[in-house]
Structure 1
Amino acid sequence: MTLPLFAADSPDWLKVKDGELLWIPNFLSRVDASYYYERLYKQLDWQQQAITLFGKSIMQPRLQAWHGDKTYTYSGLTMPPNPWISELLELKSRCEQAAEHRFNTVFANLYRDGQDSMGWHQDNEKELGINPVIASLSLGGTRRFVFKHLHCKSKMELELTPGSLLVMAGSLQHHWQHALPKTQKPVEPRINLTFRNVVSE
């Protein structure tokens, strides 16, 4: 069963089964989204690194950069932080206001084409605390984003358009997985910024 999210023009928290979501499709104007995409595409030190998945070392199907105040570890990969740059600090402040939550790091991912992707996962590492709040800001091309509940057949999906903001909160990371699937359709490169609060190292 696929569940609808909520009205595209309703910037309100939605209580879904076992979690909370905030979806603001026009969080940034198209002009601002384009500006930040170009600046971050050129300024961030994009890397493709190996992660451990099901006991095997594989190269990530995307490029990434980690910035902020804390080190972060996931899938066997430890990432010391790069320093903040002004554009990331500007976007962090805006996302903090919308999410009503403070962030001390940002995980930037660059999806170069439709074959770059993110598999099913939960952002439930102990460094993020019990019920993490994660603000996901999209720049560049539009990509399909999907959720599935771990214990029932419920699914949700939406199109992550440039300038859109999706905030995941509550117990969502304990009960839902999410993914950015591959696509054969022609898509523009996309930058995704996930602002997080790392509480330990």
Structure 2
Amino acid sequence: MDFEGIKGLSYVPGFLTGQSADEVCRALDAGDWDTTLKRRVQHFGYRYDYRARTVPDDARLGPLPDWLGDLARRLVEDGHFGALPDQVIANEYLPGQGISAHVDCEPCFGGVIASLSLLSACEMVFRHRGNEARRSVALEPGSLLVMQGAARYEWTHEIPARASDIVDGVKRMRGRRASLTFRTVVLS
């Protein structure tokens, strides 16, 4: 796995499309969105504490709902995870919203992070933690981005807060975007 010169990064276009993607979006919108952050989020499996940057001992919410469990099993069947991921964060991004550069909590989550993009495209920027290297990836609706190894631990990733992106020299306006980030909780 080596996508855009980043070891351990893989990109799967069209992982979820059409009616399947629509059903996932309807299931998300039928749920309760948390509005305490600048963007809306939903937690499944375990709640992540953004302030403490940890998964607290009392964070267990229960098993993933069936519609997410089906996607988690597919991630294992397709070889992206060795065991079922048990935690999912859904993020909603409106045009102009993003997420700052970060590496998903190292002591909290296992070695594989997978993010499914829905509804609208956006650019994700990767920066190497040890040098000045920078890479950009256009995340298309229905695509799956998988980070492990160097991509998981040596590169930060972010979505710049803006209303449009330049992809292949063309300005693309952003619409409402949702993402599902699949992870495995590491309990202490």
Q: Which bracket does the TM-score occupy, shorter chain normalised?
A: 0.7 to 0.9
- The one-letter code sitting in structure 1 at the alignment partner of 2:145 is L
2:90 is the counterpart of 1:108? yes
SS at match of 2:8: strand
- The one-letter code sitting in structure 2 at the alignment partner of 1:142 is A
Assess if the C-alpha contact under 8 Å between 2:113 and 2:152 holds in 1: no
- For residues 62 and 133 of structure 1, the distance between their equivalents in structure 2, rounded to whole angstroms, comes to 24
Pick one of 12, 25, 47 that aligns with 1:24: 12
CA RMSD of aligned residues (A): 2.2
- For residues 181 and 63 of structure 1, the distance between their equivalents in structure 2, rounded to whole angstroms, comes to 16
Taking a change above 3 Å as real, the CA distance of residues 82 and 122 of structure 1, as seen in their structure-2 partners, is: same
Extract unaligned runs of 5+ from structure 1. 1-12, 50-59
Tell me by how many angstroms 1:195 deviates: 0.6
- The one-letter code sitting in structure 1 at the alignment partner of 2:161 is K
Tell me by how many angstroms 1:121 deviates: 0.6
2:174 is the counterpart of 1:187? yes
Pick one of 32, 37, 47 that aligns with 2:25: 37
Cα-to-partner distance string for 1:45-76 (whole Å, 9 max, x where unaligned): 21022xxxxxxxxxx221111111x4534432
- For residues 126 and 110 of structure 1, the distance between their equivalents in structure 2, rounded to whole angstroms, comes to 25
Assess if the C-alpha contact under 8 Å between 2:101 and 2:156 holds in 1: yes
Map 1:137-156 → 2, pairs under 5 A: 137-156=116-135
Tell me by how many angstroms 1:15 deviates: 6.8
- The one-letter code sitting in structure 1 at the alignment partner of 2:129 is L
Extract unaligned runs of 5+ from structure 2. 165-172
Assess if the C-alpha contact under 8 Å between 1:72 and 1:198 holds in 2: no
Tell me by how many angstroms 1:104 deviates: 1.2
- For residues 137 and 4 of structure 2, the distance between their equivalents in structure 1, rounded to whole angstroms, comes to 14
- For residues 18 and 174 of structure 1, the distance between their equivalents in structure 2, rounded to whole angstroms, comes to 11
Tell me by how many angstroms 1:85 deviates: 1.6
2:100 is the counterpart of 1:124? no
Equivalent in the alignment of 1:72: 48
Assess if the C-alpha contact under 8 Å between 1:74 and 1:125 holds in 2: no
Divergent runs of 4+, >6 A? 15-18
Assess if the C-alpha contact under 8 Å between 1:137 and 1:192 holds in 2: yes
Tell me by how many angstroms 1:30 deviates: 2.9
Assess if the C-alpha contact under 8 Å between 1:101 and 1:133 holds in 2: no
Taking a change above 3 Å as real, the CA distance of residues 184 and 139 of structure 1, as seen in their structure-2 partners, is: closer
Across the two proteins, how many residue pairs are aligned to each other? Answer: 174
- Percent sequence identity is 30
Q: TM-score, normalised by structure 1?
A: 0.77
2:180 is the counterpart of 1:199? no
